[in-house]
Amino acid sequence: MTRATGDLSFRAAQLRSLKRGIDKFEPALFRAMAQDLGKSEYESYASEIGFVQHEISYHLKHLKKWARPQRITTDLVNFWSQSRVVREPHGVVLIIAPWNYPFHLLMAPLAGAISAGNCVVLKPAEYSSLTAGVLADLVADTFSPEYVTLFTGGRDMNSALLDERFDHIFFTGSPALGRVVMEKAAQHLTPVTLELGGKSPCIVAPDADLNVAARRIAFGKFINAGQTCIAPDYLFAHLSIKNALVEKIRLAIERFYGPDPRQSPDFGRIINPQHFSRIAGYMDRGEILMGGTTDSTERYIAPTLLGMVSAEAPVMQEEIFGPILPVLEYEEIDSVISFINEREKPLALYLFTGSRNTEKQVLSRTSSGGACVNDTVMQITNPRLPFGGVGSSGMGAYHGRHSFEAFSHRKSVLNKSTRIDIPLRYPPYRGKMGLARLLLR
């Protein structure tokens, strides 16, 4: 091993090369994501390319500070010594990304892995095959394969890679596949970061600003045609404002995408026919409050609000990952909290309220990977906040410094002087118990 990637100047040079490579391949990435997911250039830039460029810039700005050894206070037992924590790379890491944000969810972890000084094996998703092809060209053009390399392919390739021994695995995908990754990693005792999903609830209290709530819910739910792991998955609206909120969301959707979202250049498409059929089938159980239009030839599903939904309906059993938002009503916030706590812990939780007391109740009595008050999905845009799940929605976190830490080993180092060697710890121990009790209590 040359350990060349451990050098900070080398890491910074690699990050700068990645920024230049992204700029070079930006037009090809725009075309590929438009074909794979129907994304507009603006959405592809704001939610994928620009997000990653900002992440890389943040790492370049702070890398030296993050990598600096951290001095730690030393206790009396280790008198006349120095303690520190040193960050060192894990080694060779595997990053497996999903198809819904095929650039963002591969390249953002890559920035953290490079920043921490690792060699990296990348595996983009098969479903977003055109974007994967551009990513393969970008990586080959930007990096020496001994430092960063990329493999394309389907589940067979995933399985083959997971059979290999890595020093860390970073996986973004479904909880079901997360279990497979964890099982494979256990064979080599490989540590994992799992960024999974779940049904993220959105609660609108009666004192919320309904105009703002409607816009922000519509934005967070229908960006990328609902194929977002942190999108609001179901909506709890207080019965006193439910009808007004539904109408305001309908108006917001129309302002965003026009009277026929199929004609809008800003509304995406479902990734493939299999997912289209699964999502469209959810509309069989419930009352369509707006939307409901589908076109299998275009893989188009209109932004849809679904009412009269029971907790047992298929749409409430698994993550929707599409442009359907079930709307439920409530009278007391306690019932919503109980509903959330009876289910798996979500990746995100959203609450719209003007009440600090309601905010405190909901956030202190529920558990989620992250939360956002009076907005949706924007919690991921602050690189200073850790992003990750809890329970079945994932383990570990990244973004900004948290990415650097996720891909680093924190090595404890004690440097002790030889000038003094206190005999207390050495046998014989007769008569030393009193002093030991004094020091160690």
- Catalytic sites, residue numbers: 195, 229
Check: CB of residue 329 under 8 Å from CB of residue 305. Answer: no
Instruction: Return the biggest CA–CA distance within the chain.
Output: 88
| Nearest alpha-carbon partner for 257 in 50, 40, 89, 5 | 40
Both tokens of 418, joined, read 């030889």
Radius of gyration of the chain (CA): 25
Do 58 and 383 touch, CB atoms closer than 8 A?
yes
The pair of structure tokens assigned to 80 is 């006349």
Q: Give the Cα separation of 377 and 398 in Å (integer).
A: 16
Q: Which two tokens stand for residue 114?
A: 């490079």
Cβ(314)–Cβ(283) below 8 Å: no
Token output for 349: 């939780």
Nearest to 313 by CA among 281, 341, 273: 281
CA distances from 235 to 83, 175, 246, 326, 350 (A): 50, 22, 10, 6, 9
